[in-house]
Each structure stands twice: as structure tokens, then as C-alpha cells.
Amino acid sequence: MFDYPESLFSELALLGFSKQISRIKKQCAKNFSATYHGDFEKWKKAIACLPDVKPSRIDLDRADILVGQPSDLSESELPILVKQLKQFHPWRKGPFNIFGQYIDTEWRSDWKWDRLKEDISPLGGRKVLDIGCGSGYHCWRMRAEGAQFVLGIDPTLLFVMQFFVMQHYIQDTQVNVLPIGLADIVGSNLEFDSVFSMGLLYHRRDAMEHLQELKQCLREQGELILETLVIDDQHGELLIPEGRYAQMRNVWSIPSVSTLENWLVQAEFKNIRCIDVSPTTFNEQRSTDWMSFQSLQDYLDANDDTKTIEGYPAPLRAIFIAER
């Protein structure tokens, strides 16, 4: 398994995972392998080859999470760093600034963070779960807000390895990302103070079941932060795309804001509020040097950017906060 501090497992036991810890350890061991992903050995080697330098500065509380300064590296170390970072293409969620190398990710994930940070319960001292955390970008931002402990989970191994690139330099035992999915942790009543599910609901075949699972991860009165695609009320109550949506596979359903609020009521969440609705723009999601594949511009109708190439309403995303 990749390196996790033993303190992580003691923390997980306190949070209600006792019965699942050995299963989680087994799942991690299975997923950190070339059998799970053919590029695992390449990524592992790239992390081992990162310049062995102690960053003179770490700043998690900024749009481009900063690790180290250019002057920390010798002239010969810089190209080695860049070469290793490139092994982790495509970089989707960020941005990051590593010894002055600006990793311009596909998404400006800081924009999502800015939309929600003033409205959530202050994270100081809280234990937080980020489900579908990608590279862990928001996990670092949560820690910067004072979260006592942050656990991210994501079954996409590349993103977990991107987290480990940052962790290689940051070395914070209170922030961890596991290469597992939600199904690997549900089943017990967990005791997280705040649970984030961002960019996940529409990928779940059964949205109500997802909301129930999120509830099980929260302590009484804990806070859910849910971010997802929505449709404007003028387009109806629920969009069930046939085939792809904006070229994405596995988009099962996209509710309107009021439909999703009703679902949250049905799932017995309290104090439900929608704090933001924003269309995704070409400035927020785009191809870059660090994510050279197609992006939003290629997924929208070239003659009408209010529609996806499949003819559905263009991506609109909303953020909800609710209490268990």
C-alpha cells in the first residue's frame, strides 16, 4: 500500500469505521497496483524521482495551492520536477503551484471553493469527508480553513497519485486520500462533522440512495455540502439524458433546484438551502498545457453555447447545504 500514517486508521476507528478498516486496507492494497491501473508503476516511480527538496514555503490558503519557491530548486532539479509532474497528465482539478511551476489544471477548482466557503459552517476543528475528491485540491483548502482531519476518497488512481505528489512535499498526516469509492465505506454510521459530495450525484444511478449514503456518513447535525449539475426550472423537473450528456458517460439524472431540494427533504435532511447556481464557463473548464484533451468548448454546440452537443441545456451547477 502507499504510505498512510498509522494515525489515519486510529482516526478512522474513532469516526465509526472500526468494522471496515481491514476491508479498506485490503481495498487500498488492491488498488495501488498495476493490476488496477497499468500506469501505477510509472506514477510510483515518478513520485520517487521528484526532487528531494524541503519546500521553504507551503501555502494551502490560496487559489493556486503553493508548495515551495523557485529558489528552493537547483537549475538541474527544475527540469526533473517538470518531467515527473508531466507523468500525471491529465491534471483536471487544481490549480497548484509547485516550486514556481504553475499547474494550470482543466478546472479552476478555486472558483467552486470561493462559491461555498463563506456559507458553510466554519471548518475549524471539524472532521471532514470529501467523497469523489479528485486530486484532493479541495481537501487542502479545507485543511487551510482549519479542519482538524480531512479524508478524501476517489477510486480514480491517477487523481490519488496527484494527491500524493502534493503530499510528498506537504507531509500533513491530517489530510489523506484513499483510492476507494463510496461503496467501500458505507455500511456503518460514521461521525464526520462535514461531508462534501461535489460533482458526484449525477454519476449515481440512484440519486436518493446517494443522499441516504451521505446521511450515514454524518453525525447528528453534521453538515452536507452537495454540489451537482442542475437544470433551470424552465427545462422541467428532471432531465434524464439518453446516452451522453456533454460527452460524459454515466450521467443518470439532472434535477432542477426545487426537485433536488425535495429529494433532500425526502431524505430527511434539515435546514436545506441552495447557496449558488452558476453556469460553467469556458474560463472555468478548458484545455490547458496540463490537460491537453478536449474540454467544455468541445462539448457544447458550436453555434449555440446554451446547449450541449447532444442538444441538452448547457452545464449549470448548484451548491446545496443541509443538516443531518
* Segment interacting with ligand SAM (CB under 6 A) among 18-26, 125-133, 207-215, 251-259: 125-133
By the rule CB under 6 A, 217 interacts with ligand SAM: no
CB hemisphere CA count around 4 (13 angstroms) = 24
Residues 298, 309: Cα–Cα separation, whole Å: 8
Q: Rg of the Cα trace of the chain?
A: 20
**Looking at 10-18, 48-56, 152-160, 259-267, which segment touches ligand SAM (CB under 6 A)?**
152-160
Q: Give one DSSP letter per residue of 234-281, joined into a string.
A: GG-SEE--SS-BTTBS----EEBHHHHHHHHHHTT-EEEEEEEEEE--
Q: Where are the alpha helices (DSSP H) in 89-238?
A: 109-116, 137-144, 157-170, 207-216
Instruction: Tell which one of 95, 199, 241, 313 touches ligand SAM (CB under 6 A).
Output: 199
Q: Is 159 in the site for ligand SAM (CB under 6 A)?
A: yes
Contacting range for ligand SAM; rule: CB under 6 A; set: 44-52, 79-87, 154-162, 282-290: 154-162
CB of 130 to ligand SAM, least distance (A): 7
Terminal CA-CA length for the chain: 34
The least distance separating ligand SAM from the CB of residue 129, rounded to whole angstroms, comes to 10
Among 129, 131, 229, 272, binds ligand SAM (CB under 6 A): 131
93 interacts with ligand SAM by CB under 6 A: yes
Interaction pattern, residues 281-320, with ligand SAM; x per rule: CB under 6 A: ----------------------------------------
* Strands 218-230, 238-239: pairing kind: unpaired
Cell of 250: 454515466
Q: At what angle do helices 109-116 and 137-144 cross, to 10 degrees?
A: 40
Please choose, out of 2-10, 151-159, 210-218, 290-298, the segment that lies near ligand SAM by the rule CB under 6 A: 151-159
φ, ψ (nearest 5 deg) of residue 31: -80, -25
Considering only 16-24, 71-79, 196-204, 306-314, which stretch makes contact with ligand SAM by CB under 6 A?
196-204
Residue number, 156 or 281, with CB nearest to ligand SAM:
156
Q: Does 133 bind ligand SAM (CB under 6 A)?
A: yes
- Using CA atoms, how far residue 156 sits from 133, 206, 207, in Å, is 10, 20, 21
User: Taking a C-beta distance cutoff of 8 angstroms, is the pair 214, 131 a contact?
Assistant: yes
Is 210 a residue that touches ligand SAM (CB under 6 A)?
no
Residue 112 C-alpha cell reads as 467552486
Supply the minimum distance, in Å, between the C-beta of residue 39 and ligand SAM: 15
Residues at the contact surface with ligand SAM, assessed by CB under 6 A: 93, 109, 112, 131-134, 153-156, 159, 181-182, 198-200, 203, 227
